[in-house]
Copies of this chain bind each other. A is one copy, B any other.
Amino acid sequence: MKVFVAGLGLIGGSYAEGLTKKGYEVYGYNRTKQSETIALDRGYIQKAGLEYLTLSDVVILGFYPQLNVEFVKTHLNLFRPGQIVTDVAGTKVEMIPQIESILPEGVIYVSHHPMAGRETSGIEHANYHMFKGANYLITPSRRSTPEAIEIIRQIGKDLSFKKITIIEPIRHDELIGFTSQLPHAMAVALVNSDRYEETSSFTGDSFRDLTRIAMINEVLWTELFFENKSILIDEIQQFELELDKIKKALNENDKDALAKLFIQSTKKRSTF
């Protein structure tokens, strides 16, 4: 099977590497030619160049959400009926209808989201082993077909993802808002609320675990937050309501209420 990876960054580069290792014929494109050279030198792709998009069975869009839309818009003439287009973007609800409304007739579209990443970016750091044990989410939409969903699922299996889940785009974005974006917002706010000089003498493992993700790629995450804005605001508010319960228990000297919140979280966390 011929696969075309548009955008040879950390994730796109790792897809190209892993799929080549699994016997796919992989082609690629990147705006900066340096990343294409690395991909060719390392044997992640066989050829670089937009002309290979037209020849491919599957096209993987490896950009940030709105850049995926831009890329499709700019290169409409390269897609052909029967091709399967997918993407690896971290938010779906805003992006999917935009892409589906412009793709030429007959082109199939199945969006998915590999839940893996690093604190680094760029093909220099690509390594398909990062997918091992990670979650892989497929978000079928209007232009998806059962056969195409199976091909996207097989790509996830071939890249060694652990758990492959099929989920509605809206539900995907809600859960990403809760399990990924909210924690990033919390970590950023925690670090930014530091008013002390001695913090580093006090940071135990839990503080370091909690704040590791406060080191954040501001270009990517600004886009991801805004793509999922209303859901994320709602998740932040739900979280604040729970935090207020802790504050309320303290303010009202209600030890039982506080202990109950701790028992609830202990029980719930043990199911994750």
Contacts and interface: CB of A to CB of B under 8 A. Distances in A.
Contacts of A219: 259
A195 interface: yes
A272 B200 contact: yes
Contact of A243 (B179, B186, B216, B229): B186
A262 B219 CA distance: 9
Given A233-B247, A233-B250, A193 B262 contact: no
Interface in A13-54: none
B218 A199 contact: no
Nearest to A198: B175
A71 interface: no
A165 interface: yes
A211 interface: yes
Contacts of A262: 188, 216-218, 221-222
A76 interface: no
A241 B195 CA distance: 13
A216 B246 contact: no
A182 interface: yes
A167 B180 CA distance: 36
Interface in A106-138: 115-116, 134-135, 137
Interface string A53-94: 000000000000000000000000000000000000000000
Chain A interface main SS type: helix
Interface in A196-221: 196, 198-204, 206-219, 221
A102 interface: no
A46 to B, nearest CB: 31
A268 B207 CA distance: 13
B185 A243 contact: yes
Contact of A216 (B178, B180, B266): B266
A204 B135 contact: yes
A246 B203 contact: no
A182 B190 contact: yes
A93 B174 CA distance: 42
A203 B163 CA distance: 11
A209 B190 CA distance: 15
A201 B165 contact: yes
Interface of A: 115-116, 134-135, 137, 163, 165, 167, 171, 174-176, 178-180, 182-196, 198-204, 206-219, 221-222, 225-226, 229, 232-233, 235-236, 238-243, 245-247, 250-251, 253, 255, 258-266, 268-272
